[in-house]
Amino acid sequence: MKRSNLIQPKALFRVFAIMVPLLLNFSGGVAASAAQHEVSVKVEASVPEASAAHGGEAEAETPGVVIMHHVMDSHEFAFEPFGAIELPKMSIPASVPFLGGLDISITKRVVMLWIVAVALVLVFTIVGSRYKVMGSRKAPSGIANTMEALVQFIRLDVSKANIGHGFEKHTPFLLTVFMFILFCNLFGLIPYGSTATGDINVTLTLAVFTFFVIQIASVKAHGIVGFLKHLTVGTHWALWIIMVPIEIIGLFTKPFALTVRLFANMTAGHIVILSLIFISFIMKSYVAAAVVSVPFATFIYLLEIFVAFLQAFIFTMLTSLFIGLATAHEGGHDEHNTAAAHH
């Protein structure tokens, strides 16, 4: 296969151009929802209440408040050398039907989504231009070599291995999801940055895309009749009243699992790092900082780099697996696995 077919920049950009604006609109409207703001207000209000309990003396923010402020979304993008940037707050008027009162404020995680989108476009523009110059005559180097390795891994070991026949039409979507999650995870490890995938609204949006891709692929593979017949799992009609609701619930548990897994893992890592750092402050000991806080926090930080790749891979792998299960015909997976084993 020609090397130029591995990247497929046109197909990748088509999916990316459709997916990112929808993701930004969804996350921008929901990331600053009323429920989230209510929690943020309660956390911020806990500091003056604690000060009042100690005779009204002003105290520094508690470790719990600082940690929650770091992992939650806000309207302030802090960059200490230059101070904090106050992000604009916007909302749709209540008079607008169906969208009245919706908060579409720009938050720091929306800004991170924009940064990730720009970075992805720049990286793949550079890679695509290098492939045009090189063609298929010589091996790539640098960033082009790295991207080719990742693309080939997703294409062959994830998409083709789990979907089988017809995997080519799903590969651009899987590549977009993998690269988008990977960049979001890595950019969240940059100082003063924010992990967009640590927001459940972002992971939920990705899971919603996956849900529709799975169902559309299933309908195309089996038709409407075959799709509905799949909900009965081939059981006797007397059991349909039990099996059909279970199968329908199962359709939604897959994206729910994808949502919670990515969100929880990316949030937990930051909480662990900050908790370890605050051990030395709580104990007020340089020894604790030298022995516990710094070494363990550094180890977890390096582990988070591995987790950034791992979670992007798991989300993409499970997506391809769900697509493969939804599009497989009876005996299709067995034949595919047997052929792969012989190969």
Is 37 inside a domain boundary? no
pLDDT-above-90 percentage for the chain: 24
Q: Is the pLDDT of residue 129 over 80?
A: yes
Structure tokens at 286: 């340089």
Structure tokens at 305: 């780099």
Q: Is the pLDDT of residue 181 over 90?
A: yes
More confident residue, 82 or 56: 82
pLDDT of residue 94: 61
DSSP string, 62-79: PHHHHHHHHHS--SEEEE
Distance CA(85)–CA(192), nearest Å, equals 12
Please state the domain count of the chain: 1
Is 261 inside a domain boundary? yes
Q: Is the pLDDT of residue 255 over 60?
A: yes
Q: How confident is the model at residue 340 (pLDDT cuts 50, 70, 90)?
A: very low
Structure tokens at 40: 């943020």
Q: pLDDT, tens digit, for every residue of 197-221?
A: 988 889 999 999 999 999 999 888 8
**Residue 88 lies in domain:** 11-32+73-332
Q: Which is nearest to 126 in space by CA: 138, 140, 137, 112?
A: 140
Is 343 inside a domain boundary? no
Is 17 inside a domain boundary? yes
Q: pLDDT, tens digit, for every residue of 16-73?
A: 444 444 444 433 333 333 334 444 444 444 444 444 444 444 345 676 777 777 777 7
Q: Is the pLDDT of residue 116 over 90?
A: yes
pLDDT of residue 52: 45
pLDDT of residue 300: 87
Is 287 inside a domain boundary? yes
Q: Is 148 exposed, middle or buried (0-12, 13-18, 19+ CB in 10 A)?
A: middle
Is 65 inside a domain boundary? no
Is 185 inside a domain boundary? yes
Name, in order, each residue with C-beta under 8 angstroms of 92's C-beta and a sequence gap of 6 or more. Answer: 99, 100, 101, 102, 104
Is 64 inside a domain boundary? no
- Going from the C-alpha of 164 to that of each of 2, 156, 213, the distances in angstroms are 20, 10, 16
Q: Is the pLDDT of residue 14 over 70?
A: no
Beta pairing class for 76-79 and 83-86 = antiparallel
Secondary structure (3-state) at 84: strand
Q: Which is nearest to 109 in space by CA: 5, 29, 163, 40?
A: 29
